[in-house]
Structure 1
Amino acid sequence: MSFEVTWNGNDDPNDPYNWPFARCMAMTTLISVGGLVSTMSTSMMAPALTQISTDLGLGASATQLALSIYLLAFVFGPFIIAPFSEMYGRKPAWLFCHVWYIFWNALCPVNKSKGILIAGRFLSGFGGSVGIAIASATTADLWRPSQRGVSLSIVTFAPFLGAAIGPILGGTITQHVGWPWLFWTVSLFDSSILFLSLFLVHESYAPVLLSRKAAKLRKSTGNPLYSTQFERSHPTLGKKLMVSFTRPIKVLVTRPIIQFMSLLLAYNFGIYCLALATFANIFADKYHQTESQRGLNYIAIALGSTIATQVGGPVTDRVWAHLKGKASGKVVPEYRVPLMIPGTLLTPIGLFLYGWSAERHWHWIVTDIGAAIFSGGIMMGSNAMYAYLIDEFAEHAASANAAARSWTNVMGFVFPIFAPSLYQRFGYGWGNSLLAFIYLGLGIPAPLILWRYGERLRALGKPVEMMLNGSAETVDTMQTTQGLEKADEKR
C-alpha cells in the first residue's frame, strides 16, 4: 500500500494555481521578455546581411544559411528541453538554456570567421529555443484554463516585439559600431534576464513540486510509501528518462491531431520567417531606404502581431467561457477553434496587399499595412492552436508543443533559403500571391475540420500511445481539459 501525495485541498498555497497574482504575473512577464531575446536573434542579422556577406566573403545562399540556421536548432532543442522540464522542472531548464545561449551567441562574431558564425548561430539557437519549448506550458502551470487566452497573450507579447526590435537594433548597431556588437549587445541583455530569473522564476510544474513534497514526507516520517502518481508509474530513473525523452516523438508519431496541427503551424511559421528574412530587401530594392530606415519597417510586423494577440487573447477566453456555459460546464479543446477563423482570413489578405504594393511601387506605408495584417493573422491563428494543444495535453503540454513545432522549425529554416529564388522568378506580387493561395488551401478547411471532427482526431492514436508507453498509468497523465478540470477540483 502506498500513500498518494497531492495538494492539501483546493486552497493549498503551494499549488501554483493559488500563488499570489503578483508572483504569477512577474514570472509570466519575465518569461515573455526572455522570449524577446529569441525572436531578436532570429531577425537582428537581417539588416546586416550585406555587410556580413562582404566581411566574411559569403555568397547569397551561405548568408541566408547563417541567418536561418539559428531556427534549424529549434527543430532539435524542444525535443530535449521540453521533456527535461517535465522531468526535472521548468526552472532548471530555463536557467541552463539561457547560460548556453549567452555563451554561444557571444562567440558568433569572434575572429569574423564564417565557420564560428554558423556554428555559434546553430548552438545558440538550441538555448534560444527554450522559450518555444516551455513558455506556453509554464503559463498552463500558473493560470487556469479560463485564463488561457490572456496568459498566452502576455507570454507572447514581448517575443512578437522582437520581430521589430531585432532589425531596428540590427540596422542601428551595424551602421554605427559594426555587426559584431549585434551579438554582444543581445548576450549582455540576456545576462540581465538570467540574473532576474534567479529570483523571479519559481518552479511551477506540479508533478515536480509534488515529487519534492513526497521526498520531504519520506524523509521526515521515515515512511517510504509516500509517492506521487508519476513516481509510481515510472519508479526507476531509467524508466523516467525513457518515458520523458521519448514522449515528444511518440506523441508526434502516434497522434494525428499533432500531425494535423504541425502542418498548419509549420506553414504559418514558414511564411513569417520568410517575411522576416526578406522584409529589409524589399525596402532596399523597391524603396531604396537606408539600413536604419529599413529596420524601422519591422515595426509593422510587430504591431500587427501584438494587436492581434492582445485582442485575440481576451476574446478567446470569452468565447471559451460562453461555449462552456452553453454546454452546462463541459469543456473541450474545440472551444479554441473560433479564433482560428479571423487568422485564416487576415493572413492571405495581408499577403496579397504586402506583395502587390511592393511590386507596383505603392507608397511604403501600404506595404507595411499589408505586412501588419498578415503577421497579425498568423499570430492570432497560431495562438488559438497552441491553446488547443494545451487544453488537450494538459500536464504534458511542453512535449506536445515540441512535437507540434517539429515541422514548424524546419519550415522556419527552409523558407528563407528559397525566398530569393521565389521572388526572383515570380516577383513580390505573384510570389506572395502563391504563398497566399497555398495558405487558403490549408487554412480555410482547418477550422471546419477541427470544429466538426476534432474530437475524433484527438481520439485517434491513444490506444497506440498506450502500448508504446507500456502502461495505462502513463497514458492517464495525458489528460484532456476535462481531466484537468477534475484535477483542479482535487487541487
Structure 2
Amino acid sequence: MPYNFNSENVDPSATSSRSATPVDSLPVQVLRPKELPVQPTHIELDACEDPKKMSFIHKWTIVSIISLSALCVTCNSGVAPFTENGIQRSFGISPEVSILSISLFSEGLGLGPLLLGPLSEFYGRNLVYWISYACFWLSTFPVAFAPNAPVHLVFRFWCGFAGSAFLSVAGGSISDLFTDATLATPMAVYTLCPFIGPVLGPAISGAINQHLDWRWTYYIELIWESAQFICLIVFVPETHVPTLLRRKISKLREATGDSSYGADSLAPRQGVFHAVVQSCVRPFQLIIHEQMILFLDLWNALILGILYLTFQAYPIIFENGHGYSMQSTGFTFLAIGLGMLISLGTQPYWNRLEACMSARCCGASPPELRLIMGQAGGILVPCALLIMAFTASPHITPALPILASIPFGTGIIYVFTSTFTYLVAAYRTYAASALASNAAFRLTFAAVFPLFAKQMCNRLGIEGALGLLAGLTALACPLPFIFAKVGERLRSKSRFAV
C-alpha cells in the first residue's frame, strides 16, 4: 500500500542540526495511509437537467400536451349525454340507467386523485402518466365495443378513475417547469382545459350522433387518446425534481460503488401505503375541522353539479322546446366555453387588481385577496341562471338563453380559480389535501346532479328548475364576501391554515 510522508510532526530545529543530534532523539515520523477522495454527500441537478432551465418552446410543448390530455379526459365526460338514446336502444335499458354513463365517469374522476396524487411523489410524474393514460385508453375499448350495459358502465368508471391523473398530477408538472413569477399564465391555461372539456364534449358528440352510431363517439375518442398517448411518451420528459435527483444519485452510486454518495440530497420519505392512507384521510379531516373549506367546497360542488346538470337541461330547452337537431343542441354548449375563454382573457386585470391591493397591505397580501375574483363569479352565476330561467320558454327566442350561457361560463371559471388559489394560499402546507377535498366534493355532485335533472325539469318545468338553481347559487353568493371579512380571524384559530 502506498504511503504519504507527513511532515507536520517533524521538528524544524531537529532537521536543521541532524548531524549533531543522536539518532535516538530524532522524532518519530508518522506514516499515514493515503486517503481516498471523499465523495460529496450533497448533489444538485445541473443546469441542463433542471426542468426550470428548459427552453421556452420545450416548456410550452409540455404544457400543451398535458393540457390537451386533461381536455381529452374531461371531454370524455361531456360526450356521454348524446349517446344515451343509442345505448338505450342497443342495451334495452331505461333512461335513468343510461345516465350512469355520465355519473360513473365523474365519480371515477373524483376518487382517482386520492391514489394517483401520492404515487407521483414516489415514482415521478411520467410513470403515473404513462400507466394511467394507458389504462384510460385501454378502458375505452370495452366502452366502445361493450356487448351489454354492465360492461359499458363499469369501464366508464375505470376510464374516469385512470384519467384523473391529469386532474391531480398535471398541476404539479407545470409547477416543476416554471418559477413562481412565471407560473400564472401556464397554470391558467391548464386550469381552463378540464372545465372546457365538459362543454366541448357535447358539441363533438352531438355532431357525431346526428349522423353516426353512438359507438363512433368512442371510436373517435380512441383515436384522440392514441395521439395524446404517443405525444406523452415522445415529448414529455420527467419533470419531478426529487425523482430526477434520485435517478442521478443512483447512477453516481452505481458508478462509484459508494452508497453514501449524495446522502444529504435525498429527503426522507414516508412509505407509499402511509402516503396513500394520509391522502384519503386528510381531505376529510379538513372538511370536518375547517368551516371555510367545507363551505367553499359545497359552493364549488353546487356550481359544477349545475354545469353537469346542463347535459340534461339543454336538450330539453333547445331540442325539445325549440326543435333544434342533436348537432345544433350540442353546439349551444360552446357558449359556455366562450364565457370560459373570456375569463382567461380578463386574467391580467385581476392580477393587476390583486397587485394593487397587495401594495396597500405593504406587500404582505392575505389569502383573502384571492377571493375578489370569486365575488364577481358568485354574482355572475346566479344572474346568468336567472336570465336562462326567464328565457327558457319555447315562446322566447333561443338566442337569449344562449347569450346567458356566456356569463355563466365566465362566472364558473372565476369561482373555481379564486377558490383554488385561496385554498393553496391559506392552507399551503396542506394544499394538496385541500384541493383533493374540493375535487372529491365537486365531482361527486357532478355525478349525482344528472341523475335527477330530467325528473326535476319535468316536475318544476325547465323555468322553475333553473329558477331554483339560481336561488341556490344566490344563497351561496355571499360566501366570498363573508370569508374576505372573517377569513383572517378563522385562520388564526385553525390548526391547518397559514
When the two structures are superposed, what TM-score results if normalisation uses the length of structure 2? Answer: 0.83
Q: Which amino acid aligns with 1:232?
A: P
Indicate the SS of the match to 2:99: helix
Q: What residue number does 1:109 align with? A: 144
Structure 1 gaps, min length 5: 464-479, 481-491
- CA drift of 1:197 comes to 0.9
Q: What residue number does 1:80 align with? A: 115
The separation in 1 between residues aligned to 2:264 and 2:469, in whole angstroms, is 49
Match of 1:181 among 216, 228, 233: 216
Give aligned-pair identity as a percent: 22
Match of 1:252 among 281, 284, 288: 284
Match of 2:309 among 243, 249, 274: 274
Q: Is 1:194 aligned to residue 226 of structure 2?
A: no
Q: What residue number does 1:232 align with? A: 268
Q: Is 1:337 aligned to residue 371 of structure 2?
A: yes
Indicate the SS of the match to 2:395: coil
- CA drift of 1:87 comes to 1.9
Q: What residue number does 1:241 align with? A: 273
Per-residue CA deviation, residues 330-365 of structure 1 (Å, 9 max, x unaligned), is 354333221111111110011111222113632111
Alignment of 1:150-161 (within 5 A): 150-161=185-196
Q: What residue number does 2:204 align with? A: 169
- CA drift of 1:458 comes to 7.7
Per-residue CA deviation, residues 419-466 of structure 1 (Å, 9 max, x unaligned), is 112111211222112112111222322343145315743862339xxx
Cα distance change on mapping 1:182 and 1:462 into 2, 3 Å: same
Match of 1:429 among 440, 459, 463: 463
Q: What residue number does 1:25 align with? A: 60
Q: What residue number does 2:420 align with? A: 386
Indicate the SS of the match to 2:387: helix
- CA drift of 1:212 comes to 3.2
The separation in 2 between residues aligned to 1:316 and 1:89, in whole angstroms, is 34
Match of 2:106 among 44, 67, 71: 71
Cα distance change on mapping 1:201 and 1:321 into 2, 3 Å: farther
Confirm or deny: 8 A CA contact 1:101 1:128 kept in the other structure.
Answer: yes
Q: What residue number does 1:476 align with? A: none
- CA drift of 1:5 comes to 4.5
Q: Which amino acid aligns with 1:241?
A: F
Q: Which amino acid aligns with 1:366?
A: L
- CA drift of 1:62 comes to 0.7
- CA drift of 1:51 comes to 2.7
The separation in 2 between residues aligned to 1:362 and 1:261, in whole angstroms, is 35
Indicate the SS of the match to 1:380: helix
Match of 2:439 among 388, 394, 405: 405
- CA drift of 1:392 comes to 4.7
Larger-gyration structure (1/2): 2
Structure 2 gaps, min length 5: 1-38
Cα distance change on mapping 1:193 and 1:374 into 2, 3 Å: same
Confirm or deny: 8 A CA contact 2:369 2:484 kept in the other structure.
Answer: no
Q: What residue number does 1:485 align with? A: none
More displaced, 249-258 or 277-286?
249-258
Indicate the SS of the match to 2:267: helix
The separation in 2 between residues aligned to 1:4 and 1:396, in whole angstroms, is 30
- CA drift of 1:95 comes to 1.6
Confirm or deny: 8 A CA contact 2:42 2:262 kept in the other structure.
Answer: yes
Confirm or deny: 8 A CA contact 2:367 2:422 kept in the other structure.
Answer: yes
Match of 1:418 among 452, 456, 468: 452
Q: Which amino acid aligns with 1:345?
A: I
The separation in 1 between residues aligned to 2:367 and 2:54, in whole angstroms, is 25
The separation in 2 between residues aligned to 1:431 and 1:382, in whole angstroms, is 23
Q: What residue number does 2:496 align with? A: 462
More displaced, 258-267 or 410-419?
258-267
Q: Is 1:346 aligned to residue 380 of structure 2?
A: yes
Confirm or deny: 8 A CA contact 1:146 1:317 kept in the other structure.
Answer: no
Cα distance change on mapping 1:205 and 1:388 into 2, 3 Å: farther
Indicate the SS of the match to 2:423: helix
More displaced, 258-267 or 386-395?
386-395
Match of 1:303 among 314, 317, 338: 338
Confirm or deny: 8 A CA contact 2:144 2:215 kept in the other structure.
Answer: yes
Q: What residue number does 2:404 align with? A: 370
Q: What residue number does 1:469 align with? A: none
Confirm or deny: 8 A CA contact 1:149 1:313 kept in the other structure.
Answer: no
Q: What residue number does 1:91 align with? A: 126
- CA drift of 1:408 comes to 0.9
- CA drift of 1:278 comes to 2.8
Cα distance change on mapping 1:15 and 1:138 into 2, 3 Å: same
The separation in 2 between residues aligned to 1:220 and 1:395, in whole angstroms, is 37
Q: Which amino acid aligns with 1:17?
A: K
Q: What residue number does 1:131 align with? A: 166
The separation in 2 between residues aligned to 1:279 and 1:115, in whole angstroms, is 27
- CA drift of 1:411 comes to 0.2
Confirm or deny: 8 A CA contact 2:79 2:205 kept in the other structure.
Answer: yes
- CA drift of 1:80 comes to 0.8
Higher percent of residues as helix: 1
Cα distance change on mapping 1:230 and 1:332 into 2, 3 Å: farther
Q: What residue number does 2:389 align with? A: 355
Confirm or deny: 8 A CA contact 1:267 1:408 kept in the other structure.
Answer: yes
- CA drift of 1:161 comes to 3.8
Cα distance change on mapping 1:326 and 1:5 into 2, 3 Å: farther
More displaced, 318-327 or 401-410?
318-327
Match of 1:448 among 470, 482, 491: 482
Q: What residue number does 2:36 align with? A: none
The separation in 2 between residues aligned to 1:306 and 1:83, in whole angstroms, is 31
CA RMSD of aligned residues (A): 2.8
